[in-house]
């Protein structure tokens, strides 16, 4: 059974903290993605990676960075968490362009 | 620019009614892929269907059907004889090299 696993389902952090969201996939996929989901705004792409150590900015990269040291793992980093980063974060992975993305269960992050 | 528009924010129907969810996309690429995903209350996105830009054949899978029309840049999703279990948020997505999602349509099916 294919799987994308996010390290936490719920997370509460304080303003100014450095936050790490981890995502691991077991499908040997080249492509991995981080989205945030907010009511009325759908899924917005933060960053994606098409290979180890390769990354590209999505539509809303400000305040975030990513790391992909190994093919199976893609980390999202909030350098200094702010309350407007309170959201649901979804990780996804995919193979070739004609294939669907597989999603993790999501991490609901609250910054207080 | 690439964009996916789901103009219907929320739809409510009574069980057994048919319902169509609209999706309009924009891209200048000639090769692209379109997807529909379902997000039930549990939160995890579930893949429903994929279509490539060269295949305009409509598809039917049980109570679900999809109508792809390049002339209108639309990829609409119809649920026939809706059921309460169909209640979810449905997302349409476009992929060239990255996935672009619409804002989603929340479908409520009332018993």
| Cβ–Cβ contact B99 with A under 8 A | yes
Those residues of chain A that have pLDDT short of 70 are: 1-2
If you average pLDDT over every residue of chain B, what do you get? 94
CB contact under 8 A, A104 and B44: yes
| Cβ–Cβ contact A40 with B under 8 A | yes
Give the whole-number percent of chain B exceeding pLDDT 70.
100
| Cβ–Cβ contact A15 with B under 8 A | no
Pick from A105, A104, A87: which is nearest to A12 by CA? A87
Condensed to tens digits (0 to 9), the pLDDT of residues B51-70 reads: 999 988 888 889 999 999 99
> CA A16, CA A99: separation in Å to the nearest integer?
38
Q: What are the CA-CA distances from residue A87 to residues A4, A110, A112 (Å)?
A: 19, 7, 12
> CA A106, CA A23: separation in Å to the nearest integer?
10
CB contact under 8 A, A98 and B50: yes
């Amino acid at each position: 059974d294919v799987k994308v696993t996010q390290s936490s389902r719920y997370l509460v952090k304080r303003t100014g903290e450095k936050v790490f969201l981890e995502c691991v996939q077991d499908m040997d996929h080249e492509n991995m993605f981080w989205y945030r989901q907010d009511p009325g705004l759908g899924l917005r792409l933060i960053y994606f990676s098409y290979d180890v150590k390769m990354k590209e900015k999505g539509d809303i990269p400000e305040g975030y960075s990513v790391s992909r040291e190994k093919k199976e793992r893609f980390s999202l980093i909030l350098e200094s968490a702010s309350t407007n980063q309170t959201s649901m974060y979804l990780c996804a992975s995919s193979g070739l362009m004609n294939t669907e993305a597989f999603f993790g269960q999501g991490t609901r992050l609250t910054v207080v | 620019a690439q964009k996916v528009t789901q103009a219907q924010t929320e739809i409510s129907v009574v069980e057994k009614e048919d319902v169509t969810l609209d999706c309009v996309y924009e891209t200048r690429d000639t090769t692209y892929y379109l997807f529909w995903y379902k997000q039930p209350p549990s939160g995890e996105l579930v893949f429903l269907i994929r279509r490539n830009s060269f295949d305009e054949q409509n598809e039917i899978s049980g109570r679900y059907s999809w109508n792809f029309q390049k002339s209108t840049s639309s990829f609409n999703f119809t649920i026939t004889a809706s059921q309460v279990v169909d209640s979810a948020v449905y997302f349409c997505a476009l992929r060239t090299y990255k996935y672009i999602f619409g804002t989603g349509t929340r479908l409520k099916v009332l018993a």
